[in-house]
Structure 1
Amino acid sequence: MNKLLNQKRSNMRWLVLLIICLMYLITYMDRTNISVVAPAIRKEFGFDKITMGLIFSSFTWAYAIGQVPGGWLGDRFGPRGVLTTIVTYWSFMTMVTAQSVGFISFWVIRFLFGLGEAGAFPTATRAMQLWFTKAERGFVQGITHSFSRFGAAIVPPIAVAIMVAWGWKAVFYTFGLVGIVWALLFFLIYRNLPEEHKGVNEAELTYLRGLDESGNINLPIDIKKKPKVPWKFLLSSSNMWYIMAAYFCYNYCLYFFLTWLPSYLVDHQGFSIVKMGLFASLPLFAGVIGDTVGGIVTDKILHKTKNMKFARKVVAIPSMLCAAIFLIPAAQTSDPYLAVYCLTASMFFLECVIGPAWAVPMDVGGEYSGTVSGMMNMAGNMGGALSPIVFGALVQAGMWSAPFYVEVGLLTIGAIVWLFWLNPEKSVVDKQMLAKMNPPTISG
């Protein structure tokens, strides 16, 4: 005991967090680069807005479909092998996008790319649950997602610079190569459990696992144990459906910023390609800040109040309502700069939801947190898949303001779900039945 008290904590988990953050950054760089080069693609292939909306959504449909299988793989086989494999795969598909020759090839390749990215966040959620304490969940979810939005924010200027120098195809080759390098780095550094990492000392393990009644470090989670996923309990849990519904509302609105924002600035607000590269980044940079702020605030409130339900709700509900409020003037104004500033404020508040939203699967999912977060993200990305199609159809009809009012309505509904029904303290599985399905095992 005295040795542990005197030993300086190694804090290897922060290096692990940095590596995971870089993956989140790459996911959004790869999924949003097509939105920046979309004007060039539309010009070269003669695609109208509806066709481009269908191409945007092909990724999201696949991404939604692959969420639950991706989360299950992370739970069953461990994050190290799963993330290494899927990041390598989707990076290859990113490069293959440059070889598209028409609508069908674009749609199919982006669909296959989406299947690859689908397992990223659910598996990373499982990885963070294994490496971090309950008190750090909001922060780690907030900071990782802030890196994803930072990735989306830096894409416009980087992609425009590459496109001007070497053409739009070079954007996909460059970004795909970055992902392959990350996969190699992750495999070399990460281990599924802190207990397996040589850089983690006993003081850090004590911090992560706690001590039992005898003063010994608690036994690690048995990552080799492959529990059966309790689909019956997950699908019959009303709380699981409320979590999915709330995230559907959030993600529908997010996907405007990830798909149509550059085209909106060029086609409706009259920005040049170069100006678009600058101003399309502002809302996404605001999202970077919002992700971090939301995660930190929900953890601090939890620390002070010890009330999980209050700590998650008090951040998520006002944030969704404020995001909706700022969309209204953005839809009505004819001043392009005011529109950008309002969208920037809306994106900040929208992203404050991320910390509490992604902490919830860790709070209520237990050892099935990867699967639970996959189910939540599946529902969210069904909204994300619908968003670019609806937006494209409405603007094709000349209604540029209408899509924003749809988003206002969904954000309001999401806030209501959070307020009255979603419970961050209520497990989505029946613990007594789980005990019968998966008897405890002791790992050495």
Structure 2
Amino acid sequence: MQAAQSGRVRYRILLMLFLVTTVTFADRSSLSIAGTALQAGLGIDAVALGYIFSAFGWAYVIGQIPGGWLFDRFGTKPVYTLALFAWSLLTLLQGFVGWLPTTWAVSSLFLLRLLVGFAGAPCFPGNARVTASWFPSAERATATAIAGSAQYAATALFAPLMGWVVQALGWQFVFIILGCLGLALSLLWLKNLYVPREHPLLGAAELQLLEQGGALVDLDQRSGAGGPQWRHLRLLLTQRTLLGIYLGQYCNNAITYFFLTWFPVYLIQARGMSIVGAGFAAAVPAISGCIGGVLGGLLSDGLLRRGHSLTLARKLPSVFGLLLSCSLVLCIFVESDAAVVALMTLAFFGKGLGSLGWTLVADTAPRQILGLCGGLFNTFGNLAAITTPIIIGYLVSLTGSFDGALLYVGANALLAVVGFTLIVGRIHRLELPADGRSAAA
């Protein structure tokens, strides 16, 4: 009742986050939908496709720490808006490489994927800053989960649609359509994103709810002069809690990037589905992952409101969900396509349930360097964007089968459980002292 009476401007901000993150993941997964047709059109093998898949990840990882620093230095709105416009424009340009000679087309596509990765690097550190400033602690996991569930919504919505586009118009139009959509959304984002104290529709009651609930409403006001110091990286890299979270995110993202890159190819090449059929089949686990992600946030915040510790509220959904995601390994032993889709649906429901990494960043990062901490977290997590496509490409090329790939992804899910249970200790906010030499609860 209190939340309803206080106002709902923060939910409008959450809707914008969801839409932007949906387009972000549609852009980064666009190559997987077009992958088989592109592979045939350009005459490249599985290893070459794996490297093209990974190109996004190389630049995305390199851009994380600078992107997080830019947020802490200049604030959320200008950095995020410029990034959204840039990666949408670069996505659009990928649609024109097919008209180049083959060698130039492959090189240009690889380069553009690198640039898309670099331009998109600030996205999730920016999301963490927005949710930390716009949502109290007891709503933060739900808000983060809803925004994060956009990665599954992107596949559920765009995989069938883009599968039809590939078949009807050609793979180039996947990039053209998504690029134009992102450019339009960047204008909407520029018009609607504000920090809490500057939002023209935010009432006093809702601002009070945010402040009293632990939202960092003055986060962007602290951006500017000085910003974070690079010596703070050493501080972040010596915190056991953060190291465990980083490991868990890397392993969780190995599952994500299997889904975003090789999963449609697996359905087409290993299961004999058509491009359109693979698009619809990929949508079912994506919808399940979206549901699991939202439920994970609701469960975590519900445990917190019922008086359980922050540690239990965040760890329980993470560990249980990641254990469920191991079920994708069972696809090795089943024959029917329906069974494969059912197992993947269960696995990605679990993956969504356990995807609370960004909530943990918002809960634990020193408030003065939340962007830098988010960038470092996403650097570790998105190393999987580099390693997963390449490793799977080699496994498929060497064995002629996707069995090794499924085992690899399942092993990462188990390793994430180890990280959350044995390495991450008590979850608490780290504070940055004046001298920056150590952090304390």
TM-score (norm 1): 0.91
Question: What residue is the counterpart of 1:413 in the other structure?
Answer: 415
- Per-residue CA distance 1:129-165 (angstroms, 9 max, x = gap): 1111111110011000112210122222111222233
For the 8 Å contact 2:160–2:280, the answer to whether it is kept is: yes
Amino acid at match of 2:36: P
How far apart in 1 are the matches of 2:228 and 2:39?
A: 47
Percentage of identical aligned residues: 28
For the 8 Å contact 1:87–1:183, the answer to whether it is kept is: yes
How far apart in 1 are the matches of 2:213 and 2:26?
A: 41
Question: What residue is the counterpart of 1:441 in the other structure?
Answer: none
Amino acid at match of 2:88: S
Amino acid at match of 1:365: A
- Per-residue CA distance 1:162-218 (angstroms, 9 max, x = gap): 223322212111111111111111111111x21111101111111111399xxxx99
Confirm whether residue 142 of structure 1 aligns to residue 184 of structure 2: no
How far apart in 2 are the matches of 1:186 and 1:211?
A: 26
Deviates more, 1:262-271 or 1:161-170: 161-170
Report how far residue 429 of structure 1 moved: 5.3
Counterpart of 2:189 (choices 177, 186, 189) is 186
How far apart in 1 are the matches of 2:268 and 2:167?
A: 16
Matches within 5 A, 1:126-205: 126-191=129-194, 193-205=195-207
SS at the partner of 2:222?
Answer: coil
How far apart in 2 are the matches of 1:8 and 1:303?
A: 19
- Per-residue CA distance 1:212-242 (angstroms, 9 max, x = gap): 9xxxx99945334544242231122232222
For the 8 Å contact 2:244–2:423, the answer to whether it is kept is: yes
Counterpart of 1:40 (choices 34, 37, 40) is 37
Matches within 5 A, 1:46-125: 46-100=43-97, 101=100, 102-125=105-128
Deviates more, 1:109-118 or 1:302-311: 302-311
How far apart in 1 are the matches of 2:224 and 2:69?
A: 13
Change (3 A) 1:436 1:365: closer
Report how far residue 430 of structure 1 moved: 4.3
Confirm whether residue 267 of structure 1 aligns to residue 264 of structure 2: no
How far apart in 2 are the matches of 1:19 and 1:424?
A: 32
How far apart in 2 are the matches of 1:207 and 1:278?
A: 42
For the 8 Å contact 1:233–1:428, the answer to whether it is kept is: no
Amino acid at match of 1:243: I
Confirm whether residue 12 of structure 1 aligns to residue 14 of structure 2: no
For the 8 Å contact 2:68–2:122, the answer to whether it is kept is: yes
Report how far residue 264 of structure 1 moved: 0.6
How far apart in 2 are the matches of 1:318 and 1:436?
A: 33
Count of aligned residue pairs for this structure pair: 425
Confirm whether residue 374 of structure 1 aligns to residue 371 of structure 2: no
Question: What residue is the counterpart of 1:282 in the other structure?
Answer: 284
Deviates more, 1:247-256 or 1:370-379: 370-379
Amino acid at match of 1:151: A
Amino acid at match of 1:314: L
Runs of 4+ in 1 over 6 A off after TM superposition: none
How far apart in 2 are the matches of 1:267 and 1:30?
A: 23
How far apart in 2 are the matches of 1:37 and 1:166?
A: 11
Change (3 A) 1:436 1:387: closer
Confirm whether residue 297 of structure 1 aligns to residue 299 of structure 2: yes
Gaps of 5+ in 1: 438-444
Change (3 A) 1:360 1:265: same
- Per-residue CA distance 1:282-338 (angstroms, 9 max, x = gap): 1111111111011111111111124111111111111111111x1221122222221
How far apart in 2 are the matches of 1:250 and 1:65?
A: 19
Amino acid at match of 1:55: I
Amino acid at match of 2:351: L
Confirm whether residue 254 of structure 1 aligns to residue 234 of structure 2: no
Gaps of 5+ in 2: none
Question: What residue is the counterpart of 2:19 in the other structure?
Answer: 22
Confirm whether residue 344 of structure 1 aligns to residue 345 of structure 2: yes
Deviates more, 1:42-51 or 1:8-17: 8-17
